[in-house]
């Protein structure tokens, strides 16, 4: 086993035992790991199974049920583009297209260098400022294709 | 709560038991309601919505009848045009993801795979190319619904790759309708959770964590998921495409649980599938890896076809007459006590009764035993102390027990199906104490796992008894009413003070106390013991202690309690019942009891020798000493070659005459002078008596393929040739009638009475019922005896070369271990570093550090692994493998009957050494 994988195992263990979640259940343990690592590596499934005295399959069944869990490492930056009705009418399609072109993506997902995760969001709750995106959880409104790409390159250069 | 509920289904008033749902009530009343996700014996799931009904006085609309509890006064309609249209609508949704060109076609039974199809259904979408064709529940349901042919033939093909790399099992998720029966049977019934429902809603499908192999996902390869699958999504790999022409229910030959199997036979006379019989009381539809996937040996082309005689050093094929004449002539030379017979645990009661009768009445010796009977002490103290040498309760009683004590038994592998109700009870909150040096599946479920020093098991049990007495946890009333010898037992416990017990067992006083308290305070509690790692000298004391534990806590004579000896060998119990043992005649008559044996002598018209014969464990020595000159072996046994009988195969060279009746050529037949081909269980008629005293029928599924004969017939023919009069049996039922005449416990059992559920002895007369739970009405006229506890001498190490003990364990699932699955030639295998657990003090003496390479040399080979200094017991080395590793080796085993010799987990004398860096690199 590589030292990298060992490292992940230790991080998973630490996250589970850190006690930030009040109860120890399969779900709370998975959430602890997800909070800490941003995703659920294979080791998390195994560790949680061992901890809760069940099998990897039961844990996997729980984990895959929730679409908010992810199983691959997230990008360093998170770009969410709203495609709710208001933003859609205000031209979210163009924003998405331009950012995807800029990042070399064809849908949601991570860039090849894992610098950016692109996600579509159904509503970011800022319907007065369409179209809206959120970059690393900071809202930007009244976007144009150009200003959106600029905002993404800004965060990439950080 | 009323005893019975009355409801109206389609205008007919029917009765239902409280707790049943509307679907069960209508099925029980003979009203078919289509269903796909419901399965008998499992909780309602309500996923497929096929069983919708209309209920006046119940939920509104069209509820799924499996999720509605039956209630008094309900008026249920199971069929109406509205329901039919709802069901068809639901079925169309299911078919939107399942190939259905054939399902809705009127020519479904007529087309072949390559016929030209007007509907343009491609070949691989046709039902004829589905492995479950003709036994598909989805198809039956579609037929029942009389689906119109107007559904579009296109469907959403998931285009998922088939999972075909795991042993014995194949999965095609393109055919799955996500009824989740497989996941539920694995979880609810088997307690394994080896497969799961992944994701949710429309994307939900069956799979394993990250799509890994079943080998590391906790699968026990019982095949229960295959048996419940209503489509072709899960199937057996072997004979995947073969179609059955007949089905015969018979008894499994692999272990003493006595599972009833429905054997499917194809037109070429091969057993192609084995499916647990859901109506059988012994297994309730469950099987295990052996019964499900380990019966192919009956189809083997390597089976012995005709009798063989050694002429000029070579085994030559001869006719039965020649072989029998020769055998009879040679055996006549050894009627002076120098003959011994080793019968097979797969022999039926009839086979083994005739075998022992032959040995005693014709060969004038009591040296007759069964090859698996290495631990006769499992049952003998039960007979002495309680009255019957057998399990006191039925297997499925375990389901409702609240506590368990399991002593040295790997029952999840050896008597797998008996562990199914146990695991079910555990998931309902029952407590479990395991005493075992090895890590097994049950130790994972245990509340308390005690690993006593090898050889100190009886001391540990004595310590528990002492605690129960000291803390007054015993059942005073039960003891006073039912038991003798309490004072003597209490007195004998004075030498089991916990300080001393701790010193000899290496188990802390606290652990002993908590185990004793847990056992005494949870009831009803069952005791299951195999004593697989317990030294011979300790076994009787252990069983005595266990009987004492059961009696003092009042756990005998009531449901869901009792004692379960876990022997190996399908007919281990029956063989003893019919006297196939050196010290007991049929019906538990002591050999030395000349008065009692008179009636047998009259029945057999022959004197019975009064001296007990050689046990199976003494045979090798007796041959080497020249006391046994002629040996008669029926059936193969792993014990012949695994060292349990010493150098048995070498000893065969010293014999003057060796007669073997067997199905396959082996080392044993190679040494034989006469070899007679035996029929297998699948061709036999007869009875087995299972570990729960259940007498069940073997029904022939196959016709004899060559010249093989049933063992009782061959032995009777030899006996008749030797001039014996009372061996003129025409059929097994005649032998069984003789058994029921002579063996009181079987007095009321006849073939006609046995029926599908079997009968549990004692069943004394034709007008009496059988006895599922022993001693429920007390201990007859006498009382149960409490045995005295005798402290064992401190165990010596096995020998100077091997000063330590090596306890190998095996688990289904080790999420914490680093396991890699590699796929070679399309087959999955497990690759992992074996971890060897050592006590830190032992490691210090040998200079071994954590993580270093070490080698264990045992009496049965060597093993290398990585040292972990986490051992709890000095001079005990342990290592735990994965069940998946064994399953792959069984799958690749080319011997004719690999499951017969599935590796067990004995405790081995061993020594430990460090592997130097250079040697480790090899």
CA B563 and chain centroid, separation? 17
DSSP, res B149: T
What 3-state class would DSSP assign to B412? Answer: helix
Mean pLDDT over B678-684 rounds to 95
Pick the range with the lowest mean pLDDT from A45-59, B82-96, B718-732, B781-795: B781-795
What 3-state class would DSSP assign to B393? Answer: coil
Taking CA atoms, B3 is separated from A34, B30, B400, in Å, by 51, 21, 20
Cβ-nearest to A57 among B196, B444, B816: B196
- Examine the pLDDT at B798 and tell me if it is beyond 70: no
- Examine the pLDDT at B1 and tell me if it is beyond 60: no
High-pLDDT (> 90) share of chain B, %: 82
Q: What's the rounded Cα separation, in Å, for the pair B675 and B311?
A: 12
Nearest to B419 by CA among B528, B525, B518: B528
Structural domains in chain B plus CATH codes: 5-145 (3.10.20.740), 169-299 (2.20.25.90), 308-373+586-760 (3.40.50.740), 377-565 (3.40.228.10), 804-921 (2.40.40.20)
- Do B441 and B413 contact (CB within 8 A), yes or no? yes
**Selecting from 3.40.50.720, 3.40.30.10, 2.60.40.10, 3.40.720.10, what CATH number does the domain A77-157 have?**
3.40.30.10
- Examine the pLDDT at B543 and tell me if it is beyond 50: yes
What 3-state class would DSSP assign to B190? Answer: coil
3-state secondary structure B596-645: HHHHHHHHHCCCCCCCCCCCHHHHHHHHHCCCCCEEEEECCCHHHCCCCC
pLDDT of residue B2: 58
Mean pLDDT over B595-599 rounds to 90
- Examine the pLDDT at B102 and tell me if it is beyond 50: yes
- Examine the pLDDT at B852 and tell me if it is beyond 60: yes
What confidence category does residue B150 fall into, taking pLDDT thresholds of 50, 70 and 90? Answer: low
Residue-range domain boundaries for chain A? 3-65, 77-157
Chain A residues lying within 8 Å of B194, measured CB to CB? 55, 57
Q: What's the rounded Cα separation, in Å, for the pair B248 and B271?
A: 10
Q: What's the rounded Cα separation, in Å, for the pair B28 and B19?
A: 13
Mean pLDDT over A41-61 rounds to 90
Nearest to B854 by CA among B869, B866, B837: B866
Q: What is the mean pLDDT of chain B?
A: 92
DSSP, res A20: -
Structure tokens at B509: 């006083």
- Examine the pLDDT at B672 and tell me if it is beyond 80: yes
Chain B residues lying within 8 Å of A60, measured CB to CB? 196, 198, 207-210
pLDDT of residue A2: 43
What confidence category does residue B792 fall into, taking pLDDT thresholds of 50, 70 and 90? Answer: confident
Model ipTM over 0.90? no
pLDDT of residue A1: 40
Count A/B contacts: CB-CB distance under 8 Å: 60
Region label for B295, one of left (φ > 0), alpha (ψ between -120 and 50) or beta (otherwise):
alpha
Give B296-312 pLDDT, tens digit per residue.
Answer: 999 999 999 999 999 99
Q: Which residue in chain B has the smallest CA separation from A1?
A: B818
Give B229-276 pLDDT, tens digit per residue.
Answer: 999 999 999 999 999 999 999 999 999 999 999 999 999 999 999 999
pLDDT of residue B232: 94
Give A99-148 pLDDT, tens digit per residue.
Answer: 999 999 998 888 888 889 999 999 999 999 999 999 998 999 999 999 99
High-pLDDT (> 70) share of chain B, %: 98
- Do B34 and B51 contact (CB within 8 A), yes or no? yes
- Examine the pLDDT at B613 and tell me if it is beyond 50: yes
Rg of chain B over Cα atoms, rounded to whole angstroms, equals: 29
- Do B209 and A59 contact (CB within 8 A), yes or no? yes
pLDDT of residue B580: 96
3-state secondary structure B700-763: CCCCCCCCCECHHHHHHHHHHHCCCCCCCCCCHHHHHHHHHHHCHHHCCCCHHHHCCCCEECCC
CA B212 and chain centroid, separation? 28
Chain B residues lying within 8 Å of A45, measured CB to CB? 209-210, 815
pLDDT of residue B104: 84
Mean pLDDT over B383-396 rounds to 94
Q: What's the rounded Cα separation, in Å, for the pair B77 and B10?
A: 5
Structure tokens at B856: 């264990």
Q: What's the rounded Cα separation, in Å, for the pair A148 and A134?
A: 10
Nearest to B913 by CA among B835, B838, B810, B860: B838
pLDDT of residue B151: 67
Cβ within 8 Å, pair B196-A58: yes
What confidence category does residue B173 fall into, taking pLDDT thresholds of 50, 70 and 90? Answer: very high
Give B454-470 pLDDT, tens digit per residue.
Answer: 989 999 999 999 999 99
What 3-state class would DSSP assign to B404? Answer: strand
Taking CA atoms, B839 is separated from B846, B875, B876, B905, in Å, by 11, 7, 7, 20
- Examine the pLDDT at B144 and tell me if it is beyond 70: yes
Cβ-nearest to A59 among B197, B209, B212: B209
B211 phi/psi in degrees, rounded to 5: 70, 25
pLDDT of residue B201: 83
Q: What's the rounded Cα separation, in Å, for the pair B701 and B279?
A: 19
Cβ within 8 Å, pair A55-B192: yes
Cβ within 8 Å, pair A55-B217: yes
- Give the position of tokens 């390159």: A153
- Do B357 and B604 contact (CB within 8 A), yes or no? yes
Cβ within 8 Å, pair B813-A55: yes
Cβ within 8 Å, pair B217-A57: yes
Report which listed range, B149-158, B640-649, B728-737, is most confident: B728-737
pLDDT of residue B123: 86
DSSP, res B791: P
Give B811-826 pLDDT, tens digit per residue.
Answer: 999 888 888 899 988 8
What confidence category does residue B7 fall into, taking pLDDT thresholds of 50, 70 and 90? Answer: very high
Q: Which residue in chain B has the smallest CA separation from A65?
A: B199
Work out the number of other CB atoms within 10 angstroms of the CB of residue B493: 21
DSSP, res B916: P
Query: How many alpha carbons lie under 13 Å from residue B247 in its C-beta half-sphere?
Result: 12
- Buried/exposed code over B545-582 (b: 16+ C-beta within 10 A; e: otherwise): bbbbbbbbbbbbbbebbbbbbbbbbbbbbbbbbbbbbb
pLDDT of residue B816: 83
Cβ within 8 Å, pair A55-B197: no
Q: What's the rounded Cα separation, in Å, for the pair B762 and B742?
A: 13
């Amino acid at each position: 086993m590589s030292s990298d994988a060992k490292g992940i195992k230790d991080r998973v263990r630490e996250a589970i035992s850190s006690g930030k979640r009040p109860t120890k259940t399969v779900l709370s343990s998975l959430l602890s790991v997800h909070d800490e690592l941003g995703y659920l590596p294979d080791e998390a499934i195994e560790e949680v199974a061992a901890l809760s005295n069940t099998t990897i399959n039961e844990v996997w069944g729980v984990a895959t049920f929730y679409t908010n869990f992810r199983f691959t490492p997230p990008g360093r930056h998170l770009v969410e583009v709203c495609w709710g009705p208001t933003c859609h009418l205000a031209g979210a399609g163009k924003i998405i297209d331009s950012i995807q072109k800029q990042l070399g993506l064809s849908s949601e997902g991570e860039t090849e260098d894992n610098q950016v995760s692109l996600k579509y969001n159904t509503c970011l709750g800022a319907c007065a400022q369409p179209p809206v995106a959120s970059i690393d959880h900071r809202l930007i409104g009244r976007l144009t294709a150009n200003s959106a790409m600029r905002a993404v390159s800004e965060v990439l250069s950080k | 709560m009323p005893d019975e509920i009355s409801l109206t289904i389609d205008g007919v008033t029917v009765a239902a038991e409280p707790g049943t749902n509307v679907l069960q009530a209508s099925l029980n009343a003979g009203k078919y309601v289509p269903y796909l996700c419901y399965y008998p014996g499992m909780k309602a799931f309500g996923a497929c919505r096929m069983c919708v009904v209309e209920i006046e006085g119940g939920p509104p609309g069209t509820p799924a009848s499996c999720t509605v509890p039956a209630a008094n006064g309900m008026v249920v309609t199971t069929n109406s045009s509205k329901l039919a249209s709802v069901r068809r609508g639901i079925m169309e949704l299911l078919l939107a993801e399942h190939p259905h060109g054939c399902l809705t076609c009127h020519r479904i039974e007529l087309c072949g795979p390559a016929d030209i199809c007007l509907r343009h259904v491609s070949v691989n979408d046709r039902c004829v190319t589905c492995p479950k064709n003709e036994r598909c529940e989805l198809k039956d349901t579609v037929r029942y619904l009389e689906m119109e042919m107007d559904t579009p033939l296109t469907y959403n093909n998931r285009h998922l790759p088939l999972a075909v790399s795991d042993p014995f099992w194949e999965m095609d998720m393109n055919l799955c309708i996500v009824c989740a029966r497989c996941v539920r049977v694995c979880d609810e019934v088997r307690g394994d959770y080896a497969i799961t429902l992944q994701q949710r809603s429309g994307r939900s499908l069956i799979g394993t964590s990250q799509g890994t192999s079943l080998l590391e996902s906790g699968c026990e390869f019982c095949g229960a998921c295959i048996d419940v699958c209503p489509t072709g999504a899960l199937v057996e790999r072997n004979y995947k495409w073969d179609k059955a022409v007949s089905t015969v229910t018979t008894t499994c030959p692999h272990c003493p649980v006595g599972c009833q199997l429905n054997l499917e036979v194809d037109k070429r006379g091969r057993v192609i599938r084995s499916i647990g019989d859901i109506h059988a009381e012994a297994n309730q539809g469950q099987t295990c890896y052996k019964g499900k996937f380990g019966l192919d040996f009956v189809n083997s082309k390597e089976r012995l076809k005709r009798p063989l005689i050694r002429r000029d050093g070579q085994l030559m094929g001869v006719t039965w007459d020649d072989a029998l004449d020769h055998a009879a002539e040679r055996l006549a030379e050894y009627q002076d006590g120098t003959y011994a017979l080793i019968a097979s645990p797969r022999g039926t009661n009839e086979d083994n009764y005739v075998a022992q009768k032959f040995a005693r009445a014709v060969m004038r010796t009591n040296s007759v035993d069964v090859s698996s009977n290495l631990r006769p002490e499992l049952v003998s103290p039960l007979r002495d102390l309680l009255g019957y040498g057998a399990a006191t309760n039925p297997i499925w009683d375990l389901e409702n027990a609240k506590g368990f004590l399991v002593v040295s038994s790997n029952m999840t592998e050896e008597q797998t199906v008996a562990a199914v109700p146990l695991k079910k009870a555990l998931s309902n909150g029952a407590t479990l104490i395991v005493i075992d040096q090895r890590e097994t599946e049950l130790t994972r479920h245990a509340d308390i796992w005690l690993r006593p020093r090898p050889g100190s098991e009886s001391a540990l049990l004595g310590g528990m008894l002492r605690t129960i007495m000291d803390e007054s946890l015993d059942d005073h009333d039960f003891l006073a009413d039912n038991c003798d010898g309490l004072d003597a037992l209490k007195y004998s416990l004075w030498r089991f003070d916990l300080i001393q017990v701790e010193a000899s067992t290496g188990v802390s006083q606290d652990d002993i106390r908590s185990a004793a308290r847990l056992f005494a305070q949870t009831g009803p509690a069952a005791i299951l013991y195999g004593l697989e790692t317990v030294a011979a000298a300790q076994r009787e004391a252990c069983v005595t202690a266990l009987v004492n534990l059961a009696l003092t806590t009042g756990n005998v004579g009531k449901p869901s309690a009792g004692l379960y000896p876990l022997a190996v060998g399908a007919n281990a119990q029956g063989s003893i019942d019919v006297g196939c043992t050196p010290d007991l005649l049929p019906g538990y008559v002591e050999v030395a009891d000349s008065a009692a044996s008179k009636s047998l002598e009259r029945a057999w018209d022959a004197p019975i020798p009064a001296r007990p014969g050689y046990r199976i464990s003494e045979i090798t020595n007796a041959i080497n000493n020249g006391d046994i000159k002629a040996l008669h072996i029926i059936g193969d046994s792993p014990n012949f070659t695994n060292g349990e009988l010493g150098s048995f195969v070498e000893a065969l060279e010293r014999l003057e005459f060796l007669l073997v009746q067997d199905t396959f050529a082996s080392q044993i037949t190679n040494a034989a002078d006469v070899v007679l081909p035996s029929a297998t269980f699948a061709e036999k008629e007869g009875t087995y008596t299972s570990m729960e005293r259940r007498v069940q029928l073997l029904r022939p599924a196959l016709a004899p393929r060559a010249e093989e004969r049933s063992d009782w017939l061959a032995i009777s023919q030899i006996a008749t040739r030797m001039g014996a009069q009372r061996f003129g049996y025409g059929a097994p039922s005649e032998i069984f009638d003789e058994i029921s005449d002579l063996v009181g416990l079987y007095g009321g059992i006849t073939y006609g009475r046995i029926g599908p559920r079997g009968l549990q002895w004692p069943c004394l007369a034709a007008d009496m019922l059988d006895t599922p739970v022993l001693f429920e009405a007390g201990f007859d006229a006498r009382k149960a005896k409490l045995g005295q506890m005798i402290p064992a001498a401190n165990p010596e190490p096995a020998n100077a070369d091997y000063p330590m003990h090596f306890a190998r364990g095996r688990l289904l699932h080790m999420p914490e271990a680093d396991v890699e699955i590699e796929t070679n030639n399309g087959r999955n295998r497990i690759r992992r570093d074996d971890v060897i657990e050592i006590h830190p003090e032992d490691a210090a003496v040998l200079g071994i550090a954590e993580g270093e390479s070490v080698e264990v040399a045992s009496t049965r080979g060597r093993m290398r692994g990585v040292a972990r200094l986490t051992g709890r017991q000095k001079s005990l080395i342990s290592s735990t493998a994965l069940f998946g590793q064994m399953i792959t080796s069984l799958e690749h085993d080319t011997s004719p009957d690999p499951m017969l010799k599935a590796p067990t987990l004995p405790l081995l004398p061993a020594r430990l050494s460090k592997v130097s860096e250079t040697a480790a690199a090899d």
